[in-house]
Amino acid sequence: MTPPLKGLLIGCGFFSRNHLHAWTNVEGAAITAVCDLDADRARACSEDFNIATWHTDASIMASGKFDFVDICTTMDTHEALVAQAVSAGLSIIVQKPLAEDIITCRRIEANARAKNVRVMVHENFRFQKIFRRLRAILDSGEIGETTFASLSWRNDIDVYSNQPYLLNTERFMIMDVGIHMLDLAQFLMGDADTVNCLNQSVKQGLAGEDAATIMLHHTNAATTVIDISYATIRRPSSFPQTLGVVEGREGTIQILEGEILRVHTDKTVRDEVIEDDKRDWTSAPWTQIQDSIPRIQQHFIDCLKSTNPFETSVRESLKTYALAEAAYESAAMSQLVNIQNLEEDGGR
């Protein structure tokens, strides 16, 4: 029997506990150590998850004790940490956003490609159960060629208490949730080449935007409208659901509250209720997101063992970051932006 791949998790902050719970549900891998600059946080994660060792220095990556690293830190630390992991020859799954801007993303990708190290970005929205099922329906051809989509993620969840640095983040909403939504749009509708965007700062005192509306033109001539907000007061809150619609030449699929897909064709309408995975560590309202994490981590490990490409490799993710960069440029210039000059070929 092949022994499990040994992993190091770096970053024991707010979201890391979802990662650590999820790794216990992944076949073929185990986290054998954690690392955080804060010794108390590292020790607490080690004790809470029965992980043998903890560290405060990321140079432990070079010890030869690990096969991969899960980097669960803020984006400003990613370039240096990925570079250390690349030097150590470790396969890498790194939390989104990969970096503050596409120039830094390109450097990260080029460095990993030069050393033949595999890097995957933790874009977990597309691994939510509802969107795997939606993609399967689209692949079946039931609603025909897609022509339009609308993806909406609007709520007022308090992201600032657990992540206070967001209050001072100049590139906020698009880099936080918008990155996920842009990746999801390309997963469902194909690559996009043109972006139009309007940003808003609704909450007073923010350094960046907390709402945005983005329109994408896809290379297959389809259109997607994305609207995102952390300033939408609604009870009950729809968090963490992405709502919307996908239209095709032969039908329509609505993405409804309660994780329901309503499929319309010429003669029929049916509902598919997407049940959660019933994991013992998930809890409302986070369940939909939490369930996606073991799924993306399993994909990472399966690809490492089979040499299959990652769905969200750094190379693929550069397309998403080009869209995010174009969205900020569009909002700043109040005009349509073509991403052709923002993309860069190559990568793994």
The CATH code of the domain that includes 82 is 3.40.50.720
Mark whether 90 and 202 lie in a shared domain.
no
Mark whether 60 and 139 lie in a shared domain.
no
Identify the helix (H) or strand (E) that includes residue 176: none
Mark whether 112 and 235 lie in a shared domain.
no
Mark whether 164 and 94 lie in a shared domain.
no
Mark whether 9 and 110 lie in a shared domain.
yes
Query: How many structural domains comprise the chain?
Result: 2
What range does the domain containing 132 cover?
126-282+313-341
Domain end marker among 85, 102, 123: 123
Domain end marker among 72, 93, 123: 123
Instruction: Look at residue 10 and tell me if it is in a domain.
Output: yes
Instruction: Look at residue 304 and tell me if it is in a domain.
Output: no
Report how many helices (DSSP H) and strands (DSSP E) the chain contains, helices first: 9, 15
Instruction: Look at residue 308 and tell me if it is in a domain.
Output: no
How far is residue 38 CA from its own chain's centroid? 25
Q: Please tell me the distance from the alpha carbon of residue 282 to that of residue 278, in angstroms, as a whole number.
A: 8
Instruction: Look at residue 16 and tell me if it is in a domain.
Output: yes
Mark whether 27 and 159 lie in a shared domain.
no
Q: What is the CATH number of the domain that holds 219?
A: 3.30.360.10
Q: What is the pLDDT of residue 14?
A: 86
Mark whether 165 and 231 lie in a shared domain.
yes
Q: What is the pLDDT of residue 342?
A: 61
Phi-psi region of 170 (alpha: psi -120 to 50; beta: other; left: phi over 0): alpha
Mark whether 227 and 83 lie in a shared domain.
no
Mark whether 108 and 173 lie in a shared domain.
no
Q: What is the pLDDT of residue 348?
A: 36
Q: What is the pLDDT of residue 341?
A: 60
DSSP 44-75: HHHHHTT-SEEES-GGGGGGS--SEEEE-S-G
Could you list the pLDDT tens digit for every one of the 348 residues in the chain? 788 999 999 999 989 999 999 999 999 999 999 999 999 999 999 999 999 999 999 999 999 999 999 999 999 999 999 999 999 999 999 999 999 889 999 999 999 999 999 999 999 999 999 999 999 999 999 999 999 999 999 999 888 887 888 888 889 999 999 999 999 999 999 999 999 999 999 998 898 899 999 999 999 999 999 999 999 998 988 899 999 999 999 999 999 999 999 999 998 999 999 999 999 999 999 999 999 999 999 999 999 999 899 999 999 999 999 999 999 999 999 999 998 866 544 333
Mark whether 154 and 261 lie in a shared domain.
yes
Helix/strand/coil for 234? coil
CA 67, 73, 74: angle at the middle one, nearest 5? 145
CA 121, 124, 128: angle at the middle one, nearest 5? 155
CA 251, 266, 271: angle at the middle one, nearest 5? 65
Give residue 280's identity as a one-letter amino acid code: D
Domain end marker among 104, 123, 142: 123
Instruction: Look at residue 300 and tell me if it is in a domain.
Output: no
Mark whether 229 and 110 lie in a shared domain.
no
Mark whether 99 and 140 lie in a shared domain.
no
Q: Please tell me the distance from the alpha carbon of residue 54 to that of residue 20, in angstroms, as a whole number.
A: 13
